[in-house]
Amino acid sequence: MTPRTWAAARDRLAFPLVAAIEVRGLERRYSDEVLAVAGIDLEVSEGEIYAFLGPNGAGKTTTVRMLVTLLQPTGGTARVAGFDVVREAPSVRRSIGVALQEAALDPLMTGRELMRLQGTLHGLPSDEGRRRGDALLERVGLSLAADRRVGTYSGGMRRRLDLATALVHDPTVLFLDEPTTGLDPVSRIAIWDEVRRLNDDGTTVFLTTQYLEEADHLADRVGIIDNGKMAAEGTPGELKSQVGIAHLEVVIAAGESAKAGEILERFGVPMPARDGRLMVGLPRGAADVAPIVRALDEAGCAVEALELVQPTLDDVFVEKTGRHLEGAADQQHPEQQPAVEEPVSG
Amino acid sequence: MSAAAAAPPLGARMAGEARVVAALGRRSVRQAFRRPQFLAPIIVFPTLFLAVNTGGAGRAVDLPQFPPVHGFLDFQLAGAMLQSTMLAGVSAAISLALDIQIGFVDRLVAAPIARASFVLGRLVATGVLGLISVLWFLTIGLIFGAHIAAGVAGFVVVLVLVTLNAIAWGTIGAALALNTGSPSVAQGVFPIVFVILFLSSAFFPEGLLLEPAKTIANWNPMSLIADGLRDPIISDLSLDKTLEGLAGIAIVASIGAILCARGVNKKLRSA
């Protein structure tokens, strides 16, 4: 639904729609011992990209499955597009697009057949289903492969097809469960670009991810979940600012460290040196880097290396949970990670 | 409620569900033809079994108490068609279990369609495969000298009974898949089909079976279906036998439908 049609639909409502997704005390218990989601609260505004970040087994997929009506909550309430996920499940299903973690595609069908079937499932007339299916295949770059069986598609092609099927009925809210897990960098960027375009068109996007970079790049707001509980929530900037300021790490030629340390102190908060690197916290961030370099140069301190280190969402995760997000060290090379499936109990 | 989410009127909803069932049925039939291992049990195995049985045990018709038939092939056709449709049910179970395993059923459950539609789509496909099966067996039967004693009317009755039986066994297959979610378990049921058939009048007259097989066959609903199906092939059309066949199919379908409903609810509660 475009912003204009959303607004038109909202205008017809007898009550104001405050959030695209509104979750209060949502809980899913599998047994006395297994509490997969332990009473979370969250709210996603219309037109927002919200990233649900957490390690495997944190409760991300269980939460999504409850929000898309695939799983009944055992406690709390959730409203999606203004509808209760339990009492108004059919209306929720008409309003949402869903691309689940496994890219649930029939390998024996062709891409075009799957798009048409998806159109029929969402009640589109044949002609419109065909037209929208073809347009979406074009949009995700699968026109040439449209008549090939899905079983012959690469992982990236499957994800793009899955995304296209989720869009066939022009949903108001789009749920993407780990949309880029296991993809190569090119495919990941293609998915990110498409998610941004969709969001520009007014679609609210709720995505789960275990990639810090993905949450940081794509999301307007991030919710961090760990052991079924919300550990933190906010914009990436807000969250990072909660755990500190950017700091500068400087390697100075031997014998000049003391003098350089004094200079650095003038610009920020001194931090203990580590591995021969002088460190200083910079309240103004990058704005202080050039003056520091000039001051060091004027004082005759030879700078051998210099790095401005921003707080990361992993720092936030460590701050809130006391441990690193799984795989955080591999964020620069996510394509090397194996596809990970979160257990149902997660 | 947004315009996109407003529930359509009942008539439009029914028409929409019919389109969904037809689309899912088409997909399942296409799936069977694209995965030959699903088609083989429906056509190839029962055909080979029919050929071996007819060729090897043809003189059984000379046994006392054997019902009067034109030939052993006429008698065996019902068994072959029952075997084919029961295996179509097992194939449907494997396909649906695979759909559950790869998450395709989640795609259907997350769509605004009636929960029953994805099961009905599968049943429509099983019915179509049953129709293909009956046409195949009647054709090869006629080519190799079988007769349909009740003529065109008998042909139509056989067509209807076999198709309905395929759908009934489709419900058993769907129930199996929904309750276990495991293609391996569904595949494991394969030999049980033969046990159920051998403990009925599908391949041999009930009166010639030894105890306890005779008593079991007497209670086995497949005997009702086999006798109802065989009747128009070997004798004039009899309403009693046709109704018996329909009753047997209703028993199987009822068991399947109850287990299916249980399976769907289970799947939705604990997915």
pLDDT given at position B263: 83
pLDDT band at A188 (very low <50, low <70, confident <90, very high): confident
- Strand A173-177 with A75-80, pairing: unpaired
- Domain check: are A174 and A145 in the same one? yes
Between chains, do A108 and B31 touch, taking CB under 8 Å as contact? yes
* Average confidence (pLDDT) over A163-189: 87
A153 interface with B at CB cutoff 8 Å: no
Query: Side chain identity at A286, as an amino acid letter?
Result: A
Does A316 reside within a domain?
A: no
- Domain check: are A227 and A110 in the same one? yes
- Domain check: are A253 and A224 in the same one? no
Between chains, do A91 and B110 touch, taking CB under 8 Å as contact? no
- Domain check: are A138 and A10 in the same one? yes
Domain with A305 in it: 247-309
pLDDT given at position A346: 27
Checking if the pLDDT of A1 tops 80, the result is: no
- Domain check: are A198 and A283 in the same one? no
Q: How far apart are CA A328 and CA A210, in angstroms?
A: 8
Query: What DSSP assignment string belongs to A59-99?
Result: SHHHHHHHHTTSS--SEEEEEETTEETTTTHHHHHHHEEEE
Nearest residue of A to residue B111 by CA position? A93
Query: What DSSP assignment string belongs to A275-344?
Result: TTEEEEE-TTGGGGHHHHHHHHHHTTPPEEEEEEE---HHHHHHHHHSSPPTTGGGTT-GGGSPP----T
- Domain check: are A82 and A156 in the same one? yes
Nearest residue of A to residue B105 by CA position? A104
Chain A: closest CA distance from residue B186 (Å): 19
Does A338 reside within a domain?
A: no
Tell if the pTM clears 0.90, that is, is over it: no
Which of chain B's residues have a Cβ under 8 Å away from the Cβ of A130? none
Q: How far apart are CA A231 and CA A226, in angstroms?
A: 6
Residue B184: is it exposed, middle or buried by C-beta count within 10 angstroms (0-12/13-18/19+)? exposed
Within 10 Å of residue A181's Cβ, how many Cβ atoms?
24
pLDDT given at position A327: 52
Q: Give the tokens for residue B172.
A: 């058993």
HSE of B248, CA atoms in CB hemisphere, 13 A: 27
Which of chain A's residues have a Cβ under 8 Å away from the Cβ of B106? 70, 100, 104
Does A54 reside within a domain?
A: yes
Does A303 reside within a domain?
A: yes
Q: Which of A274, A73, A55 is nearest to A64 (CA)?
A: A73
Between chains, do A98 and B110 touch, taking CB under 8 Å as contact? yes
A94 interface with B at CB cutoff 8 Å: yes
- Domain check: are A227 and A268 in the same one? no
A50 interface with B at CB cutoff 8 Å: no
Give backbone dihedrals phi and psi of A303, rounded to 5 degrees, phi first: -85, 120
Between chains, do A105 and B5 touch, taking CB under 8 Å as contact? no
* Average confidence (pLDDT) over A276-292: 84
- Cβ(A150)–Cβ(A105) under 8 Å? yes
- Strand A49-53 with A75-80, pairing: unpaired
Q: Give the tokens for residue A200.
A: 């520009």
pLDDT given at position B253: 92
Question: Number of structural domains, chain A?
Answer: 2
pLDDT given at position B7: 66
Give backbone dihedrals phi and psi of B91, rounded to 5 degrees, phi first: -60, -40
pLDDT given at position A337: 34
Beta strands in A154-276 (DSSP E): 173-177, 204-209, 221-226, 229-234, 247-252, 269-274
Residue at a domain's end among A209, A241, A273: A241
Q: How far apart are CA A132 and CA A110, in angstroms?
A: 16
Between chains, do B112 and A90 touch, taking CB under 8 Å as contact? yes
Between chains, do A93 and B3 touch, taking CB under 8 Å as contact? no
B160 interface with A at CB cutoff 8 Å: no
Chain A: closest CA distance from residue B255 (Å): 26
Residue at a domain's end among A218, A241, A264: A241
pLDDT digits (tens, 9 = 90+) for A25-57: 999 988 878 888 999 999 999 999 999 988 888
Residue from the list A6, A98, A121 with its beta carbon closest to the beta carbon of B20: A121
pLDDT given at position A165: 92
Does A328 reside within a domain?
A: no
Nearest residue of B to residue A62 by CA position? B271
Checking if the pLDDT of A175 tops 60, the result is: yes
pLDDT given at position A12: 47
Nearest residue of B to residue A343 by CA position? B271
Nearest residue of B to residue A95 by CA position? B5
Does A344 reside within a domain?
A: no
Residue from the list A1, A72, A121 with its beta carbon closest to the beta carbon of B4: A1
pLDDT given at position A276: 80
- Domain check: are A150 and A44 in the same one? yes
As a three-state string, the secondary structure of B81-124 is HHHHHHHHHHHHHHHHHHHHHHCHHHHHHCCCCCHHHHHHHHHH
Instruction: Tell me the percentage of chain A whose pLDDT exceeds 90.
Output: 29
Residue at a domain's end among A196, A223, A241: A241
pLDDT given at position A21: 94
ipTM above 0.85, yes or no: no
Between chains, do B2 and A100 touch, taking CB under 8 Å as contact? no
pLDDT digits (tens, 9 = 90+) for B192-236: 888 888 888 888 887 777 788 888 888 889 898 999 988 899 888
A90 interface with B at CB cutoff 8 Å: yes
Checking if the pLDDT of A13 tops 50, the result is: no
- Domain check: are A209 and A259 in the same one? no
- Domain check: are A71 and A199 in the same one? yes
- Cβ(A230)–Cβ(A41) under 8 Å? yes
- Domain check: are A305 and A183 in the same one? no
Which of chain A's residues have a Cβ under 8 Å away from the Cβ of B113? 121
Instruction: Tell me the percentage of chain A whose pLDDT exceeds 70.
Output: 87
Residue from the list B7, B111, B270 with its beta carbon closest to the beta carbon of A121: B111
Helix (H, G, I), strand (E, B) or coil at A23: strand
pLDDT digits (tens, 9 = 90+) for A209-233: 888 888 888 899 999 888 889 888 8
Neighbouring-strand partners of residue A52: A208, A223
The DSSP symbol for A110 reads B
- Cβ(B49)–Cβ(B40) under 8 Å? no
Q: Which of B246, B96, B226 is nearest to B164 (CA)?
A: B246
Q: How far apart are CA B244 and CA B238, in angstroms?
A: 10
B20 interface with A at CB cutoff 8 Å: yes
- Domain check: are A101 and A220 in the same one? yes
| Spacing of C-alpha B128 from chain mean position | 10
pLDDT band at A331 (very low <50, low <70, confident <90, very high): very low
> Which of A70, A83, A93 would best serve as a mutation to test chain B binding (most B beta carbons within 10 A)?
A70
Which of chain B's residues have a Cβ under 8 Å away from the Cβ of A6? 2
């007819």: which residue's tokens? B54
Does A191 reside within a domain?
A: yes
A91 interface with B at CB cutoff 8 Å: yes
Query: Residues of chain B whose pLDDT is less than 70?
Result: 1-7, 58, 267-271
Does A336 reside within a domain?
A: no
Q: Which of A204, A99, A186 is nearest to B4 (CA)?
A: A204
pLDDT given at position A260: 87
CATH of the domain at A16: 3.40.50.300
Mean pLDDT across chain A, nearest whole number? 82
Give backbone dihedrals phi and psi of A239, rounded to 5 degrees, phi first: -60, -45
Q: How far apart are CA B213 and CA B210, in angstroms?
A: 6
Taken in order B122, B125, B129, B131, is the CA torsion positive or negative? Answer: positive
